[in-house]
Amino acid sequence: MTIHLDDEHLDDEHLDDEQLSAYLDGQEPGAARHLGTCARCDERLAALRDAAAAIAGRVPGPPAGAEERAVAGALAGAPPASVVHLRRRRPAPWVAAAAAIAALVVGAGAVRLLRGGPSTTTQAARSGRASSALAAGTVLDGGDLGELSDARVLAERLRTGLAEAPVAAQPTAGKTSVPGPAQSTDQQASRASPGAAATVSGSRPPCAAEAQRTYGPPGPLVYTASLRWEGTPAVALVYRAPAEGTRPARSQVLVMARADCRLLVAQLI
Amino acid sequence: MAAAGRGDRDALNTLLRRHYRSLHAVCRRLAGNDADAADAAQEALLAIVRGLPGFDQRSRFATWAYRVTVNACLDELRRRSRRPVPVDDTGPVSRVAPTAVDEAVAVRLDIDAALRRLPEEYRAAVVLRDLCGLDYAEIAEVLDIPAGTVRSRIARGRAGVADALGNSAPTPPRPRDTP
């Protein structure tokens, strides 16, 4: 039976776990009247105190490198103040109309491709004349951006490249996309998850697997380019997230050192 | 803190590093193993960064960060709930002979297994109280539950750990989860 702590007849009753636990936390000062006179409650109190001490005991530290990865990953997902002003401006009405017409053209082209028509998109990309007709699921290789050290310049270069990249689409399991030169449509269809898309060049971009595993980018990889960032050979990976409601779509940029896939720059554009 | 909230990356970097170890410790206790704890702590930092612009500073940053961390960690663990756990928790928790292995390792395995046997709501309450040292009002804020519920969850959590560790006296009647 549980003791009511204002009860004067305590001899045949005991404190319950909640009372004893609260007493440990200084919440039940009245329990002291009973404790010290009841071996059973004293023993239970000691057990609860030991449990609390075990929970508070030494906690194993993080594995080596975990803090670096966690902080870098978090910063990669942060909206950096330095690039807030680089958000795309609202397009003029004529631009929106042109985009709508372009979307219709892209749609017609995609239908043609899915029906087995000529794959003009991969040919265009291969020849360096990538067009906006690239289908979702294709990664555009932007070539070499050269030596860079300014995040604003990097953002502008990537925005220019992104204008040629495929339009963001909601990831759909099993969605068919345009196969790369060395891949069949069936192979591609089985790899339609974000970050696992085909590349125009037919090979997986360097550090893409590391970026996917460590930073979990918000959408599919759509663009990649080589560069030297402050002298370090690097690869830029651009992931495009689908638009959410009225919020415009943004792209997550990860620049990683080619040698060890260390994160050099992370920004949203 | 204010600079980090405005997106200053150096300030954000400093803030995250300052709190990483304590937040990782929460995840380590909630997860019960190193690999899940590291991943959960990373998710927690990301959630903190994403939520920081909305942090209204009505509570201490640490309290808010614990709230974000517990939620992120439990979400991460729920996503992984079908994955096999690295330590068998189906049977009674047994101590390894202290003469055979480091006593600290044995105790650690015991407390990991004992905590894992608790429902997550009790686990979170006792970890916030006994590891983080939050008071009942702060835990109520972190877990978004009434203070009376905090008290009963802590009691149940400690009792569960005490019973699992096998050094408990006969158990008096258990309190119900009262608001």
The alpha carbon torsion through B34, B35, B37, B38 (nearest 10 deg) reads: 110
Are A62 and B46 in contact (CB < 8 Å)? no
3-state secondary structure of A145: strand
- Cα separation of A269 and B22, whole Å? 32
Which is more confident, B159 or A203? B159
A114 in B contact zone (CB under 8 Å): no
Which residue from B minimizes the CA distance to A46?
A: B168
- Is the CATH number of domain B100-167 3.30.420.40? no
- Cα separation of B156 and B125, whole Å? 9
* Domain residue ranges of chain B, discontinuous segments joined by +: 1-82, 100-167
Query: In Å, how far is A7's CA from the nearest CA of chain B?
Result: 17
Query: In Å, how far is A269's CA from the nearest CA of chain B?
Result: 15
pLDDT at A72: 86
A71 in B contact zone (CB under 8 Å): yes
DSSP string covering B102-135: -HHHHHHHHHHHHHHTS-HHHHHHHIIIIIT---
Q: Under 8 Å CB-to-CB from B150, ≥6 apart: which residues? A: B125, B136, B139, B140, B143
Helix (H) or strand (E) holding A254: strand A251-257
Whether this prediction's pTM lies above 0.90 is answered by: no
CB of A120 closer than 8 Å to CB of A133? yes
Closest residue by Cα to residue B74 from B141, B133, B127, B8:
B127
Q: Which two tokens stand for residue B70?
A: 């517990």
* Model ipTM over 0.90: no
pLDDT at A16: 93
Query: In Å, how far is B123's CA from the nearest CA of chain A?
Result: 10
The domain B1-82: what is its CATH number? Answer: 1.10.1740.10
Amino acid making up residue A194: P
Closest residue by Cα to residue A18 from A33, A32, A31, A7:
A31
pLDDT at B50: 85
A104 in B contact zone (CB under 8 Å): no
The rounded mean pLDDT for chain A is: 67
Which is more confident, A176 or A163? A163
Q: Which two tokens stand for residue A105?
A: 């053209």
- Cα separation of B119 and B66, whole Å? 19
| Residues in chain B, pLDDT under 50 | 85-102, 168-170
Q: How far is residue B33 from each of residues A62, B42, B73, B138, measured CA to CA in Å?
A: 10, 14, 12, 26
Chain B partners within 8 Å of A75 (Cβ): 9, 12-13, 16, 49
pLDDT at B65: 94
Chain B partners within 8 Å of A218 (Cβ): none
Do the first three CATH levels of B1-82 and B100-167 match, i.e. the same topology? Answer: no
